[in-house]
Amino acid sequence: MTSTRITVVPDRCIGAGNCVDVAPGHFAQDAATGLVVQLREEVVPEELGAVQMAVDVCPVMAIELTATDTA
C-alpha cells in the first residue's frame, strides 16, 4: 500500500491561491498574509487527483507530494 503526504514549503509561497481553488479540503489561505495554510498532511486515494492538480498549478512549486510504501 502507498501513502501520499503533502509538504508545503512556506518560504516559496506567494499567495496565488490556486491550490485553494482546486483542493480546498487540503489548503486554505491565511487571512492576514494570504499565504497557504495546509489543512491536512495525508492524501487519500480519492483526493489524489485534486491534490496533484494543486501541485501542478502552483506557480512557485511550493507544494510537494511524497509517496511512501507502507507495509
Q: What are 25-58's pLDDT values in tens digits?
A: 999 999 999 999 999 999 999 999 999 999 999 9
* Predicted local confidence at residue 1, as pLDDT: 73
CA distance linking residue 43 with residue 46, whole number of Å: 8
CA gyration radius, the chain = 12
Domain boundaries, the chain: 2-69
Domain 2-69 coded CATH 3.50.50.60: no
pLDDT of residue 71: 65
Q: What confidence tens digit (pLDDT) does each residue in 5-22 have? A: 999 999 999 999 999 999
pLDDT of residue 2 exceeding 90? no
Q: What is the DSSP letter of 33?
A: T
Predicted TM-score (pTM) of the model is 0.89
Check whether 64 has a pLDDT greater than 80. yes
Of residues 56, 55, 63, 59, the one with CA closest to residue 37: 63
